[in-house]
Amino acid sequence: MNILVINCGSSSLKYQLIDSSKEEVLAKGLCERIGIDGSCITHQPMGGDKVKTEVDMPDHTVAVKMVIEKLTDASVGVIKSLDEIDAVGHRIVHGGEKFASSVVLNDEVIAAIEECNDLAPLHNPANLIGINSCKEIMPGVPMVGVFDTAFHQTMPQKAYMYGLPYEYYEKHKVRRYGFHGTSHDFVSQRAAEILGKDRKDLKIIVCHLGNGASISAVKNGESIDTSMGLTPLEGLIMGTRSGDIDPAIVTFLAEKEHISADEVLSICNKKSGVLGLSGVSSDFRDLGDAADAGNEKAKMTLEAYAYKVAKYIGAYTAAMNGVDVIAFTAGIGENNAQVRAMIGEYLGYLGTNIDPERNKIRGEEVILSDEGSKVVTMIVPTDEELAIARQTEALVK
């Protein structure tokens, strides 16, 4: 089955065409600056070079048309016609409490997703535009929605409630939802497979450390807690997001800086995290280079980052009354040996010791902890597109 996986943002559209029978990516690409001057599509057939084409894409429907054009192109295409796309899998950021698993998209479901727009005003409307554009261009092709929040719907109420008046939960659904669910699900499942165990028998902590970052506690195959909340702003220090802060800071800074609460929140989302703390960059490669060159703020930022991850690992170990596996994933978790080692320094009490030689490996499935460790620490590269393709296939087959 050929499955087109779509991740649609407000001005971008990422895609992968995956042959689900072989679990092979046939082609992938990205449409950028949709609706803005200078829009372009970068397309790459597997095994071939990236081809960047500047083309006017006034809206997402035109972008989807361009994607189909590239996929069926005589020189850079990988299929002959639209008929060879059997299904489309859409990444959807927020499914609220309505969606605890992936779902076939029909008009009723699309309306229910629209009702979640308030919870993710920057993301869900863009996801819906992608869905509607695909519907227009590929009317007969079945489509599936895969939600970032779905895997965490198993969290117990004690984990997802904020200490706020209960009426705000009832009236506005203010609660913790968590994100990156597709990745936490995929990585925890894969970690169990690598160890030759059933996920249902394990307590796993997944550290998804990318530009956006979150940690989850997966007990007996279910997410029982995760660090992101109502929005992806809560939790760890991230590339540009602050993670947990005292909420009183919002109005305090608004008053001191003569800016609105909205502007403070925008700073918390876009100018904070390791970027704001270090003043260097949101990218951990730049941050590592600066720290190596003696930049004290960069060093402090890395320390604060690792400390926060370690604190969450401790909290989730307590939440699960133990831990069997700690899995690192996403850009930093998979590639940054320095950060993994810094986190590892806090984990001695768990009886896990990251082997410095193994820790040099990047981007591969590997067990990092040494033979005597009680808790297995490992790298498990995430693959959210493959996870979306699998779930799409399972629902449309």
Interface with ligand AMP by CB under 6 A: which residues?
Answer: 210-211, 239, 283-285, 330-332, 335-336, 362
Active site residue 56: no
**Which of 325, 335, 339 lies closest to 375, judged by CA?**
325
Which CB contacts under 8 angstroms, 24+ apart, belong to 264-270?
A: 265/233, 268/233, 268/241, 268/242, 269/233, 269/240, 269/241, 269/242, 270/240, 270/241
CB of 392 to ligand AMP, least distance (A): 22
Q: Which residues pair with 207 in a beta bridge?
A: 215, 328
d(CA 205, CA 339): 17
Query: Which residue number, 223 or 240, has a Cβ lying nearer to ligand AMP?
Result: 240
d(CA 180, CA 213): 8
DSSP label of 120: S
End-to-end CA distance of the chain: 9
Phi, psi dihedrals of residue 171, rounded to the nearest 5°: -80, -40
CB of 210 to ligand AMP, least distance (A): 3
List, in order, residues 6 or more apart from 338 with CB less than 8 Å away: 288, 302
CB of 362 to ligand AMP, least distance (A): 6
Out of 56, 148, 225, 286, the active site residue is 148
Residue with CB nearest ligand AMP? Answer: 331
> Among the residues of 95-138, which ranges form H helices?
107-114, 124-137
Q: Which residues pair with 329 in a beta bridge?
A: 208
CB of 312 to ligand AMP, least distance (A): 18
CB of 394 to ligand AMP, least distance (A): 25
Catalytic residue numbers read: 148
